[in-house]
Amino acid sequence: MKTQFRDRKEAGELLAKKLAKYADRADVLVLALPRGGVPVGFAVAQRLHAPLDVLIVRKLGVPGQEELAMGAIATGGVLILNARIVEAMQVPSGAVDSVVARERRELERRELSYRGGRLAPAVQGRTVILVDDGIATGSTMRSAIAVMRRQRAHRIVVATPTIAASTYREMSGEADEVAAVLVPEDFFGVGQWYMDFSQTTDGEVQRLLDPAATPL
């Protein structure tokens, strides 16, 4: 049984086998979460003969407790706020605005860097496969799911080479499907499941997203 992936490319190829039923379907779109999800998503899209793009999601962390998400912003100008968290943590509106502005700047930088002038793909009515290179707590992926719900995707499939077992169980009730190769109970970090977990660069993301590299 596989216990470690050689690199993100091999992980994506193995993940694609779990998604074989989505191959050669006109309604399928692969959206990778940058940066590490892009080489995995590229391999998946290549095997499924599906278009590839990125879903840039920036979690809005509670000031001082950044791991706790009070919302998210994403590609397409989407803003989602969790009023319950904002109220419970007593986050002032000015602090919320400050976090949104900061994360929007980074989102816009990545949009320009990764996609240039290309428009984000329409997802309404489509089967969207959300890909990341691994999922620990799942906070960013949950934001991605919420964005896809807001944009009225027909079916949302979370796909990742490795995911913590507890997160897998929770997320199975949030997405329409969760596909994974390794679902370990003992999960200390995504990197432990890769022999090569070197950082994916902006340049590599740009290269894989270049229309000339489209895996159709």
- 38-93 tens-digit pLDDT: 999 999 999 999 999 999 988 899 999 887 889 888 877 788 888 999 999 999 99
Question: Letter for the amino acid at 216?
Answer: L
Tokens of 2: 């596989």
Domain that holds residue 46: 1-209
Residue 215 domain flag: no
Residue 85 domain flag: yes
Q: What is the pTM of this model?
A: 0.87
Residue 84 domain flag: yes
Residue 214 domain flag: no
List the CATH number of the domain containing 180: 3.40.50.2020
Residue 115 domain flag: yes
**Has residue 212 got a pLDDT over 70?**
no
Are 118 and 143 in contact by the 8 Å Cβ rule? The answer is no
Residue 17 domain flag: yes
Residue 131 domain flag: yes
- Omega before 149 cis (within 30°)? no
Write the CB contacts of 102 (distance below 8 Å, at least 6 apart in sequence).
Answer: none
DSSP 149-189: HHTTBSEEEEEEEEB-HHHHHHHTTTSSEEEEEE--SS-S-
- 8-19 tens-digit pLDDT: 999 999 999 999
Residue 216 domain flag: no
Indicate the number of domains in the chain.
1
